[in-house]
């Protein structure tokens, strides 16, 4: 029988079904060998005999075991004609999309190597972790020939919605919106601040082909899906202007952008020390402020509290700083002053995430065509019409 989660569906979503998810995302699956990766501060101690399951904390890692590891063993492997199902742990990277250390451990506490023992020996790798591993795993997939999916930050809401959807439909909707935006020359984003000021970020795209994160890794071509999926994205060629940022401690800053790079943050509210620390980081390693992505959500989903899903919600958009080689960009880890700086960090603009300012309007220029894409965190009629073509 398919492995169905005990998480209750909401908002009309079906129950989470691991067999359906993996069968849809990774068709074909027959004959494939699959494993799970997760991360810990002390992986040898935590994963051995699943000792961490008896302790508080580690909510994502517990989902890796309860939903994916046990789900594979409870029938999904047999249903999909796959083998394997082992779980391995590596050291937490402490940064989004940072390269992972090679040592890893199995459930018996044995020390292994990702490059020697894992990547060459599995056809499908699921990474259920605290920090995104999409960039490093994409590079390893191309090197070793596996397919995979990254599912960092998984929680009950994501399982009951963003991972319960039919990814064939998600793919069609993402393609419809990709076609509506592909070939864009420029995107202009207006933000209205609490004091009434309107600031604009301009992103030069050069008529490039838009890309999509749609959740399907079909065939045997090496690829890594970022789940939940549902996004259209670009790699900016240039950028200038201003955009606001809400830091993790709630501090608000206005970021100044020149030549595709954030050059400074100007204090708006909160903690001046947070602004100072960001400016020092930009001075010390300017690559940390390079804009590597502009993305647009394509799905109707509930807010999960985790950016991995919330950036996929229709009516939101996000910018990202740092490495973008996994997106086809030119910002690679070797360009950073320090390894720990070579992250890919999303900056999400969404009502629940950034209530202190409004995403007033997002406009696209494509040749002689000019279209509004988003107004006040709502998709425009132009995008809605495009999305409805697949209904």
Residue 70 shares a structural domain with residue 215:
no
Residue 173 shares a structural domain with residue 156:
no
Give the integer Cα–Cα distance in Å for 275 and 270.
9
| Cβ-based burial of 99 (10 A; exposed 0-12, middle 13-18, buried ≥19) | middle
Tokens of 298: 């394509």
Answer for the pair 333, 139: CB distance below 8 angstroms, yes or no. Answer: no
Residue 28 preceded by cis peptide, ω within 30: yes
Residue 112 shares a structural domain with residue 176:
no
Range of the domain at 51: 18-160
Model pLDDT, residue 391:
65
Per residue in 41-98, pLDDT (tens digit) is: 999 999 999 999 999 999 999 999 999 999 999 999 999 999 999 999 999 999 999 9
Band (8; pLDDT cuts 50, 70, 90): very low
Tell me which residue of 350, 319, 339, 327 sits closest to 257, measured CA to CA: 319
Per residue in 206-262, pLDDT (tens digit) is: 999 999 999 999 998 999 999 999 999 999 999 999 999 999 999 999 999 999 999
Q: Is residue 3 part of a domain?
A: no
Q: Is residue 2 part of a domain?
A: no
Q: Which of 133, 160, 187 is the last residue of a domain?
A: 160
Mean pLDDT of the chain: 95
Give the integer Cα–Cα distance in Å for 248 and 274.
9
Residue 237 shares a structural domain with residue 263:
yes
Residue 62 shares a structural domain with residue 125:
yes
Give the integer Cα–Cα distance in Å for 245 and 265.
9
Residue 4 pLDDT exceeds 80: no
Per residue in 280-307, pLDDT (tens digit) is: 999 999 999 999 999 999 999 999 999 9
Q: Which of 119, 144, 160 is the last residue of a domain?
A: 160
Could you give the number of structural domains in the chain?
2
Give the integer Cα–Cα distance in Å for 129 and 373.
33
Band (11; pLDDT cuts 50, 70, 90): low
Residue 185 shares a structural domain with residue 147:
no
Answer for the pair 374, 359: CB distance below 8 angstroms, yes or no. Answer: yes
Residue 175 shares a structural domain with residue 272:
yes
Q: Is residue 55 part of a domain?
A: yes
Tell which phi-psi region holds residue 234, choosing left (phi > 0), alpha (psi between -120 and 50) or beta.
Answer: beta
**Cβ-count burial 195-231 (b if 16+ within 10 Å, e if not):** eeeebebbbbbeebebbbbbbbbeeeebbbbbbbbbb
Model pLDDT, residue 220:
87
Q: Is residue 11 part of a domain?
A: no
Residue 173 shares a structural domain with residue 234:
yes
Q: Residue 274: how many CA atoms within 13 Å on its side-chain side?
A: 16
Per residue in 93-130, pLDDT (tens digit) is: 999 999 999 999 999 999 999 999 999 999 999 999 99
Residue 59 shares a structural domain with residue 94:
yes
The domain that holds 59 is classified in CATH as 3.40.50
Model pLDDT, residue 339:
87
Tokens of 218: 């079909």
Give the integer Cα–Cα distance in Å for 190 and 376.
10
Model pLDDT, residue 366:
98
Residue 340 pLDDT exceeds 60: yes
Other beta carbons within 10 angstroms of residue 55's beta carbon come to 9
Backbone angles phi, psi at 305, to 5 degrees: 85, 0
The answer, as to whether pTM is greater than 0.85, is yes
Q: Is residue 13 part of a domain?
A: no
Residue 209 shares a structural domain with residue 338:
yes
Cα-Cα end-to-end distance for the chain: 30
Tokens of 96: 């989004």
Question: Which distant-in-sequence residues (6+ apart) come within 8 Å of 2 by Cβ?
Answer: 17, 18, 19, 20, 75, 76, 79
Residue 46 shares a structural domain with residue 193:
no
Q: Which of 126, 144, 160 is the last residue of a domain?
A: 160
Q: Is residue 5 part of a domain?
A: no
| Cβ-based burial of 116 (10 A; exposed 0-12, middle 13-18, buried ≥19) | exposed
Residue 186 pLDDT exceeds 70: yes
Residue 87 shares a structural domain with residue 218:
no
């Amino acid at each position: 029988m398919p492995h169905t989660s005990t998480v209750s569906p909401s908002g009309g979503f079906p129950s989470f079904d691991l067999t359906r998810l993996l069968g849809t995302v990774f068709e074909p699956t027959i004959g494939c060998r699959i494993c799970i990766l997760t991360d810990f501060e002390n992986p040898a101690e935590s994963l051995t005999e699943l000792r961490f399951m008896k302790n508080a904390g580690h909510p994502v890692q517990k989902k890796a075991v309860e939903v994916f590891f046990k789900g594979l063993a409870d029938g999904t492997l047999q249903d999909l004609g796959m083998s394997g199902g082992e779980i391995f742990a590596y050291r937490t990277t402490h940064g989004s999309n940072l390269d992972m250390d090679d040592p890893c451990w199995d459930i018996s506490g044995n020390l292994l190597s990702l490059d020697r023992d894992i990547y060459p020996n599995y056809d499908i790798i699921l990474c259920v972790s605290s920090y995104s591993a999409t960039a490093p795993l994409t590079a390893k997939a191309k090197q070793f020939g596996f397919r995979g999916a990254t599912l960092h930050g998984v929680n009950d809401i994501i399982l009951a919605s963003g991972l319960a959807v039919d990814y064939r439909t998600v793919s069609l909707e993402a393609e419809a919106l990709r076609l509506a935006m592909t070939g864009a020359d420029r995107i202009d984003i207006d933000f209205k601040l609490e004091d009434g000021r309107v600031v604009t970020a301009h992103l030069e795209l050069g008529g490039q082909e838009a890309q999509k994160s749609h959740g399907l890794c079909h065939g045997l071509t090496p690829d890594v899906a970022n789940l939940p999926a549902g996004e259209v994205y670009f790699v900016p060629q240039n950028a200038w202007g201003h955009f606001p940022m809400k830091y993790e401690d709630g501090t608000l800053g206005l970021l100044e952008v020149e030549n595709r790079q954030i050059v400074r943050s100007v204090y708006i509210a909160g903690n001046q020390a947070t602004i100072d620390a960001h400016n020092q980081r930009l001075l010390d390693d300017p690559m940390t402020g390079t804009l590597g992505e502009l993305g647009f959500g394509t799905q109707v989903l509930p807010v999960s509290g985790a950016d991995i899903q919330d950036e996929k919600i229709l009516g939101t958009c996000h910018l990202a700083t740092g490495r973008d080689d996994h997106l086809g960009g030119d910002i690679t880890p070797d360009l950073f002053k320090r390894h720990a700086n070579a992250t890919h960090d999303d900056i999400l603009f969404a009502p629940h995430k950034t209530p202190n300012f409004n995403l007033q309007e997002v406009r696209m220029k494509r040749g002689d065509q000019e279209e509004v894409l988003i107004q006040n965190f709502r998709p425009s009629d132009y995008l809605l019409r495009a999305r409805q073509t697949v209904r």
